[in-house]
Amino acid sequence: MALSEKNTQPNSEFMKKIVIAVDSFKGCLSSSDVNNAVEEGVWSVYPTCQLVKVAVADGGEGMLDVLVSAWKGAYITVRVHDPLMNLIECRYGISGDGQTALIEMAQASGLPLVLQDRRNPMLTSTFGTGELIRDALNRGCRNFIIGIGGSATNDGGVGMLQALGYRFLNANGLSVGYGGQVLSEINSIDLALAHPAIREARFTVACDVDNPFYGMNGAAYVYGPQKGATDGMIEQLDSGLRSLAGVIKKELGIDIANVPGAGAAGGMGGGLLAFLHAELTPGIKLLLDSLDFEQIIEQADLIITGEGRLDRQTLMGKVPKGILDVASRKGIPVIAIAGSIEDIDVLNDAGFAGVFAISPGPVLLEQSMEPTFAVTNIERTIKQVFSTLRQFDFS
């Protein structure tokens, strides 16, 4: 959970307890790094305030560390296949009681694992994520929490399932290969060698999009370009997902075509739904429930959240919106910070008490992404905000 707290003697200041829960600034600072910078800014103005820091994530990068801490778990390091089927070392978590596996798909099948000029969702596979699940099953885990953000893949979860023993066969009864390129070849599914423990396992998946499996709003058309797909590839991938959905309906009697979230992570959501009977849930809700966030914020005077960029997309299930929803039920004001901000009126209308960009003025992107520069700007911004608030401290 990466939860820390500093208690001091109570005093007359009206800011007695502040909760800091900011998502990572992707490619720049982790959630904990941002929280620490916010803490320094607050204490420069309110040195006797009780601060509670909570590291947060929404299903992608950083979620594993948060969950391992929240579940008092430990890391397991294993060798698996990356998206291009090269062997790598990566890790997942197991809860303190040994029953729950905590898996971040991006660890084995993430976009950063593939060099920019080699990104091609026709070739990339989710096989490595399946290997993580298989290892956890072999260690006795029967409860799984899986974050599926940040993938490099568009194979409908076929690679993951291949690693778990499922066989996807072509019209000649032969096993197909790997990657999005094989989807249109799949004619039937052999379940006989699937890992037997799957029947006893429960899978909860952090999923922050509601895209269908295929179509103009589906996995390939919406997310294919950022994974390296050309227009021609996108058409082939979408056709392949459509074909796979048909085979799944014929073989398993399950129609995943238009289930919200089936198109997440290149169709991984659909594969998890159809074969592992997974429950798809918003990542931030899953995380905050795991952290018992409602209890953490009891008697808080203010919550500070944020992410690298705040805009109207923030309101579609991202960390700041999830935190705002919980805080609103308890009547606790929330302010948000970000490296850049758009749609301020939309954000204010959503209920944020204030939104603040940390940039001191026009700067090059490379400079704004430099960690030391960002930390300095976060501390400075928070100090300015709380110096203003202090002017209204009449307690």
How far apart CA 217 and CA 375 sit, in angstroms, is 37
Which has the closest alpha carbon to 301: 338, 336, 330?
Answer: 330
- Tokens for 124? 């990339």
Asked if 265 and 63 count as a contact pair (C-beta separation under 8 A), the reply is no
In the chain, beta strands by DSSP E: 3-6, 17-20, 50-54, 74-81, 87-94, 100-104, 143-147, 167-169, 188-190, 202-206, 279-281, 302-310, 334-341, 354-357
The CATH superfamily of 63-284 is: Glycerate kinase, domain 2 (3.90.1510.10)
Question: Which pLDDT score is estimated for 393?
Answer: 62
How far apart CA 207 and CA 53 sit, in angstroms, is 24
Question: Which pLDDT score is estimated for 102?
Answer: 97
- Tokens for 274? 């159809």
pTM of the predicted structure, to 2 decimals? 0.84
Which has the closest alpha carbon to 274: 392, 111, 157?
Answer: 157
C-beta atoms surrounding 153 within 10 Å: 34
Which has the closest alpha carbon to 64: 232, 206, 274, 194?
Answer: 206
Question: Three-class SS of residue 339?
Answer: strand
pLDDT digits (tens, 9 = 90+) for 114-125: 999 999 999 999
Q: Give ranges for CATH 3.40.50.10350 in the chain.
A: 3-56+301-390
CA-based R_g, the chain, Å: 22
pLDDT digits (tens, 9 = 90+) for 306-329: 999 999 888 877 899 999 999 999
Residue 362 neighbours by CB under 8 Å, 6+ apart: none
How far apart CA 281 and CA 59 sit, in angstroms, is 10
Bridge partners (DSSP) of residue 205 are 146, 280
Question: Which pLDDT score is estimated for 148?
Answer: 94
How far apart CA 58 and CA 54 sit, in angstroms, is 13
Residue 355 neighbours by CB under 8 Å, 6+ apart: 310, 335, 336, 337, 338, 341, 344, 347, 348
How far apart CA 277 and CA 270 sit, in angstroms, is 10
Question: Which pLDDT score is estimated for 124?
Answer: 98
Question: Which pLDDT score is estimated for 13?
Answer: 57
Question: Three-class SS of residue 296?
Answer: helix
Question: Which pLDDT score is estimated for 390?
Answer: 82
Q: How is domain 3-56+301-390 classified at the CATH fold level?
A: Rossmann fold (3.40.50)
Question: Which pLDDT score is estimated for 14?
Answer: 65
Instruction: Go through 285-321 and write b for each residue having 16 or more CB atoms within 10 A of its CB, e for each that does not.
Output: bbbbebbebeebbeebebbbbbbbbbbeebbebbbbb
Q: Give ranges for CATH 3.90.1510.10 in the chain.
A: 63-284
- Tokens for 383? 């100090």
pLDDT in tens, the chain (395 residues): 444 444 433 344 567 899 999 998 887 898 999 999 999 999 999 998 999 999 998 766 778 988 998 899 999 999 999 999 999 999 999 999 999 999 999 999 999 999 999 999 999 999 999 999 999 999 999 999 999 988 999 999 999 999 999 999 999 999 999 999 999 999 999 999 999 999 999 999 998 788 999 999 999 999 999 999 999 999 999 999 999 999 999 999 999 999 999 999 999 999 999 999 999 998 888 889 888 999 999 999 999 999 999 998 888 778 999 999 999 999 999 999 999 999 999 999 999 999 999 988 777 778 888 999 999 999 999 999 999 888 776 45
Asked if 137 and 194 count as a contact pair (C-beta separation under 8 A), the reply is no
